[in-house]
Amino acid sequence: MSQADRILRACRREPVDATPIWLMRQAGRYMAEYRALRKRYSILEIIKTPDLATEVTLQPIEAFNLDAAIIFADILPVLEGMGLLLEFVKGDGPVIHNPLRTAADVETLAVRPAEETLHYTLTAIQQVRQALDGQVALIGFSGAPFTLASYAIEGGSSRNYVRAKSLMYEQPQTWHSLLEKLSSTVGDYLRAQAAAGAQVLQLFDSWVGALSPADYREYVLPHSKRVIEIAKSEQDVPLIHFGTGTSGMLPLLKAAGGDVIGVDWRIDLAEAWTRLGDDVAVQGNLDPVILFAPVSEIKKQAARILDNVKGRPGHIFNLGHGVLQHTPVEHVAALIDFVHEYSARDG
């Protein structure tokens, strides 16, 4: 069984020889190879230069025994194609210089095909897919409508999402119009990534846990559902639907769609799976901070997760969110090897 088969089979809840593993943000600042490249290029330069994006995507594949690569990109460039001015400001994170505040702002947003606006990532996907040669799976991804809307309205990261939620409550028509445009754009982007060679897709609704379940159902669910329908309209590529802080609304994420539901570490994975039901696969759910702990603790915690869902086909091992800066590289290697060895022994 190739590593690619391992993860593709897990997405379909078929038996595997060992639990597949990849890590959100597995390419990034914790790796010396990446930091070296970042001395010469900005994040956006790397993302927009297919050869550089290909190189960075492959860095963790060369370093670790991962079952999947995830294309090196960011969730925010999709907003540039719609007309927003994006900048990554050192220390402050992403900034949108013309955030959306009114119906007129939303009116001006363009919905354009991904082949026009995000061709660099599609080219990088083609290149990486070729380099991986079918051995390791390639994952494409996009931010989900709520998470993208929160950046577009707030103008950057946010603690309480007061502006985004206020627009949602005060101008629901404007909100839905914005999320429709985002859904069309994001759905098309994911469809194009699958066409370019992505074998699995992940929809990142990273900040959707800021909403109550009732607000998610009313203001977000129909839009995320439409994204997933469009993404799968040409090819039925497996899709991972991920969010953090969603322990109280996992069945709603499933209702929006996805073959795999990504779960953070704030809930026992077996309990999450029981709430979701056996007709969906799960991904998760080690706390990223545990990678700072001694290897013995990392193994103990990974074993607990594997034991909890033992015998239930359809588990992709991952962290509950992205790898953090300063994570020790050798701990990442130890986790990946342990997950394979421990789950193969048990299988």
Active-site amino acid positions: 25, 29, 38, 74, 151
Q: Which is nearer to a copy of itself, 48 or 165 (CB)?
A: 165
- Alpha-carbon distance values, 181 to 11, 32, 55, 78 (Å): 29, 39, 32, 12
Backbone angles phi and psi of 81, in degrees to 5: -65, -20
- Which residue from 162, 236, 274, 344 is in contact with a copy of itself, where contact means CB under 8 A? 162
Interior angle at CA 332, CA 33 and CA 7, nearest 5: 100
Stretch that binds a copy of itself, among 70-78, 88-96, 146-154, 266-274 (CB under 8 A): 266-274
Q: Does 130 bind a copy of itself (CB under 8 A)?
A: no
**Site size for a copy of itself (CB under 8 A):** 37
One-character DSSP codes across 265-322: TTS-HHHHHHHH-TTSEEEEEE-GGGGGS-HHHHHHHHHHHHHHTTT-S-EEEEESSP
One-letter amino acid at 196 equals A
- Which residue from 292, 312, 313, 337 is in contact with a copy of itself, where contact means CB under 8 A? 292
Give the per-residue contact string, 305-334, with a copy of itself (x = CB under 8 A; - = no): -------------------x-x--------
Q: Which residues contact 252 (CB under 8 A, 6 or more apart)?
A: 213, 216, 217, 221
Q: Which residues contact 321 (CB under 8 A, 6 or more apart)?
A: 24, 206, 244, 264, 288
- Which residue from 2, 98, 130, 166 is in contact with a copy of itself, where contact means CB under 8 A? 166
Q: Does 98 bind a copy of itself (CB under 8 A)?
A: no
Residue 139, judged by CB atoms within 10 A of its CB (0-12, 13-18, 19+), counts as buried
Q: Does 265 bind a copy of itself (CB under 8 A)?
A: yes
Q: Does 229 bind a copy of itself (CB under 8 A)?
A: no
Q: Does 272 bind a copy of itself (CB under 8 A)?
A: yes
| Residues found in the chain | 347
Q: Does 165 bind a copy of itself (CB under 8 A)?
A: yes
Task: Return residues touching a copy of itself (CB under 8 A).
Answer: 160-162, 165-166, 169-170, 209, 211-215, 245-249, 265-268, 271-272, 285, 287-290, 292-294, 297, 301, 304, 324, 326
